[in-house]
Structure 1
């Protein structure tokens, strides 16, 4: 029998077992006629090739190839693979931490070994037949370095790889497995792939060699698993747990734990090894690792999820020696498998054991101690994770447990010099007496400190040099039992700044300032620098200048003075420089700064007054410029010519402020003060009173002694016995008080309770009084809206009535227009307010109301927010119903209001527009339904538009009294018409000069003679005409020297009326003045409302032989003096 026959017979025998497997595979998913089952085909996306091959053809081809190559198929000897195509091409390395070592990973390369059993033989025909005509996509050779590097991640098996454990068809993992069978690397599994089996017949791998070259080493050294074994890693160590071969569905990946490296540059390569023959395969690609404590480790492989490490232990305590079994079987990898387990038995951060088979491990703890073991797992794609036991192992000695220790620190990373705070938390069952500490901050194994630290307290330490440090603390109790903990600190480099200092000028007289200039200082890293100043040459830097590179200073004593600057970057690195200044001439004493803060302690938020009162210069005068540094940064950000300065503080804390004063020679003095802002709860005010009702004068006693403070602070009390919202007039008192109410009506007593630290609360008590004398009635809760507010009080259908506004906007542009009328002749009972126009509607409402009786019915005028002057007439004589308002003119801007009067039987208006032009307009009909174009009478001063003219009828003709405001000063003027309708007008007569912005004037015709009242710089004055027309006037009569008390641009606050044929005047302070004669030549008064009532606006009316007043502040009131 010839050689060919012999070869085929040998191959046939070798393949007998393979045939059964092939037949089973060939039948899978197919129908009885050999075609693919449609159900299976539909589920397989993408579909594998449908073409199959007969095993006999493969056997015959292999026999022919063996014969062609002269290879004896019966040869039993083995040898390691050879040739460049058998070299590993994808060796890579990863590491997490230099102390944990590195992991090398690669894909096995053995041409012809298609079933991955580690030897090339006839059995490798079966995988070829199973994947017949499968294709492989390879990376571009110019990019990959070899032409047979498959695309994608060998661990990416798609969803199927996760769910079933076998990679899905066409996934990267499937392609990598097919590439192992593509022996010729042409991208298709076909008949040509039989030849590599023949070419590499009996090539064998049972282990791998790892070679390393370390720093300062010229040659590579074999890393043996055990000395003399000749290999680094058994191939079988990477088999799946419980298996005798690799997983046939995936490319065979190997990992090697390199635990012996230290800091520096390392190089590695691997080579296949056959222990039977002692032969080694070709060298792989070389990888380099720089174990640099400051360098970032290589990134994890892309597109791969890290595994999850977890483990359990069967013992947590016991005497030494203590056996502990560890089980990491619960560790998982969502997209691959775990191939390496690294165990750190004592939790010192150094892996002690590593293996692909070490999913279960046993360790014997021979020494007492408290241990926190760690597990690191690596998956088949090179990703890793680490877990530390959440419960430690306490190994005792003769039943005595060791101490337990956990060490925390921070910050753990930063530039040098890096200050780190170390905080140990420990428990010592033997007691802390005699507890010894051993600190090794730099991880060199040598003790750096034995300082004891209380559990939970902090020990500071500064790292001055860059590096990666494992700081370790060991504590030892009185029984000589120890526990240790560590943290890793990473310190990066930081270049020192370079200091520079000069002085300008270099020579000065005593007391004159010079400048220390350090702006030439630099930092190589570009950090912003902080500056500290040595002002007496002693090497101590007593002044902090913040980030300002200059500092001004002076000396009073002549001589050469040494100076210095210390510059610091943001990490704390420093450098210093020195300079000197020469002081010539006679000495000059510096000024004395005195700083204080009041109050020194206050509750948040707080207004603190900083004071420089008491600061002085012993030899001259201070420059009245006071500088304050409020944040301690050395920059005096506040400059004021006042000796006090207020700061508003909202945050609780301790604060300081620095004051600098300067004398005429430029010498400065410094003083510091401090204040505290504390959390503070407001007191709880409580008020009772008795009686709460009675005839006036009514004596009422009040008691606030039940008020309390949550913080226990002492309380202060202040009383406002006739409280009006918006106008509080508190008088300090005790916890109890009394008051006599001398006016009738509703009163509110308010007590203010304060704790002296900013906490304030209030309590109210209501009192009702009745009887003869002044009675005050609250008509409406309507509030005023500022300086444009007005109200008018008239007798309507025999009963008092008020027209007024109610605030909607706070500025008076869209206030409600309201009307209210009494239900009796005296005004002791009132109806409900009537809304004439709703200011909440866009364009409606307004300001500057006027009221007059037109044709026996009340009529109103006001200015809308748009500037329109409107007129509105009541449809019924008692004012209970009103016609729709009529627009008279668009005054534009912000006119204050219009004077309203009935002129020759028809309503007429006068106002000043925003252009300061005085206007007059008389309706075309008695009801005021239509109006002509307004007349322009004259141009007033700059602020004429802020005034409301007074329109009256004198001797049958209209007249206008007004203030012509010229900003600097102004004058009260009287402008008469030349006819009864006001179609033509005479020149205005100037009556009195007034100060700027004194804007009020009030007119009344008494006994047929016009009279008016207004304010001047002398006080409240009265004028009466001499002729009943206003063409000639008496000299002004000073009623009161009390000045106009309201601010600029305020409102009219005086009114004149007739009482028993004599003028009566309501002054700005709501005091009533009575003329002693009909001409008003002398006056008596003032009569004031009891209980100190106050108002923003008011009007005066004489009713039933006495004055009545309507007034408004945060509410509308009516005052009448009952018999």
Structure 2
């Protein structure tokens, strides 16, 4: 229902119904977080669980901007707008929360602008496509068929059709909208049931169609499509921890991490822009930054998601995330210290015991509330809640789950803990990674170019695989990361290089293979 392609970053924000954060790019925001005095607008959907997969005419959304942040601690004023691509401005509001019932099919842009006491203003937007899920008798129900993936310079067929047999469609009018990286917009119009169109720029397009039935009635539909550059690759975001040696085995409240994205690869050359975010599962967006490096001190226990989005000069975006659980190893007197005990490994369909406990003897725990979150391979998310010191739960899908517990001590104080859990399907074999090097050797000269190849990796079930390569140097640490089946690599430094390949199947099962190769100085 969110109108754009899925991703880990997006699904994380949708856990709380958050659909817009300024500066992420993936949310169509036109600004970035630049200074401490600039507010951070955050838009969330309060009734997310009540809405279906698609937004339909008649649906009401309840929006909130209360998670927006003024880094200086001042108050914020709010301005909401609802725009329709054809009808123009439909509604507005100036409270922290905003409710709107959709009356029109087609693409809407919901905007939230927040302003500080000092007059600094930022905004974020949410693109929403509204359909009519229950067309009246005699009304066509427009659909769009486009063969993907799409590349710049390649002729593409756009086909309009009706999802109902009566009436038949006799005409279709198209509008193809391109939002360039500099935030200017241009569009072209075409007519015909089936048209050929050549996308001339990489990036995201909005494709709209209005169809007319043979009885004169009309219907509208739209979808977002991503067009890649034929001679360019998307960037490869690489997040590294500069002060890793200074941190303990567990991250604790008060720890400061120093992150860097400067090893990210623009692939096709050129410069990159950066966007960092820190999200907490319960407290929402905590911080952001737009430099190549980023520093953050943890103030809250629980699960955090640190995101890095990189964008090329041509508008290609990719992002990566790091899930971090922060604990407090120095609980105050009288505060419980939550722990989770789960017998692993865990298989689909098997009843599993989840036990909450306190790592301190005083106070004792009197209650525990659980939340079990599943992120499916298509990046949609669902969760269930349970209560009890010890609960039985049967995981019904393979993949990665986040298990959270909030415990209450017998003195009324609370503590939180979470852990990630991998659930396997005993009836499905995991993928088989196959890491190969061409030419075949484990010793090379500095300056040599080799091919790291994972094409012989396989899924015994015949499904597709996703690939993630990491190249680390014995002294310099992470120096490259690629998400292709195979790639070329040139040794620029002497010494040992650790190379790993992780493959993931369609249900989230992962396996990895690794090897170590040595590069010798060319003047050796």
Q: Give the TM interval when normalised to the shorter protein.
A: 0.3 to 0.5
More strand per residue: 1 or 2? 2
- Structure 1 or 2, whichever has the larger Rg, is 1
More helix per residue: 1 or 2? 1
RCO higher in 1 or 2 (8 Å CA, sep ≥ 6)? 2
